Chain A
Amino acid sequence: GDSVTQMEGPVTLSEEAFLTINCTYTATGYPSLFWYVQYPGEGLQLLLKATKADDKGSNKGFEATYRKETTSFHLEKGSVQVSDSAVYFCALSDQGGSEKLVFGKGMKLTVNP
């Protein structure tokens, strides 16, 4: 079945550091890809998404590009802030099925001032 493998943490960075969180997927079709974020004490919320190959999703300074050839959707940010401290989940949605989300295990990021 479909699956998502993402870099596991926890990871601690200093403010203004560069962030990359690796994510690769396995899917039989052509899924949509997502990054969700869970801030402390809050629910999951969509950070960005891409629905087809070579699409780039971006939001709040974060970017990720849908790479079909490497089945990857790595999340990047050039300069993290303390407010980016959260758990980040990579996920996919099977376009041909029920549109359920299949999540990776999540990665906890802590950014120190």
Chain B
Amino acid sequence: EAGVAQSPRYKIIEKRQSVAFWCNPISGHATLYWYQQILGQGPKLLIQFQNNGVVDDSQLPKDRFSAERLKGVDSTLKIQPAKLEDSAVYLCASTSLDGKNDEQFFGPGTRLTVL
């Protein structure tokens, strides 16, 4: 079974530029999460989708971050414009249909460096 795929694996941009990350969850997983992991900290949830609907985006900085999952499968996370403090690893995770106590499977992450 293929795991959660993410691309790119690394990205370096300058502040005020825009960037997009892509995630393809495990086939059949209806729930998809984006987490931000700043160096030295644990991952923090940015947004959760159930199919193509948003369940929780309370910690997403909506003035600069956006995410979509148009067909309920893969998802993109965008930052525009980027700030220095956005330097982090962005993790995508997915879980099966009901999401209750099911294991979240994580992708390898995208490491973003903002200069």
Contact = CB atoms under 8 A, between A and B. Distances in A.
Interface of A: 4, 32, 42-46, 49, 51, 89, 91, 93, 95, 97-106
Contacts of A98: 48, 55-56
B43 A105 contact: no
17 contacts: A32-B101, A43-B3, A44-B93, A49-B103, A51-B101, A89-B43, A91-B42, A98-B48, A98-B56, A99-B31, A99-B48, A100-B33, A100-B45, A100-B48, A101-B104, A104-B42, A106-B41
Interface of B: 3-4, 31, 33, 35, 40-45, 48, 55-56, 91, 93, 95, 99-104, 106-109
B43 A44 contact: yes
A49 B65 CA distance: 32
Given A100-B48, A100-B56, A43 B42 contact: no
B43 to A, nearest CB: 5
A89 B43 CA distance: 9
Contacts of B100: 95, 99
A105 B55 contact: no
Given A99-B101, A100-B33, A106-B41, 9 more contacts: A43-B108, A44-B91, A98-B48, A98-B55, A99-B102, A100-B45, A105-B40, A105-B42, A106-B40
B55 A103 contact: no
Nearest to B3: A43
B99 A99 contact: yes
Nearest to A46: B103
Contacts of B45: 100-102
Nearest to B98: A99
A44 B103 CA distance: 11
B106 A43 contact: yes
A6 to B, nearest CB: 8
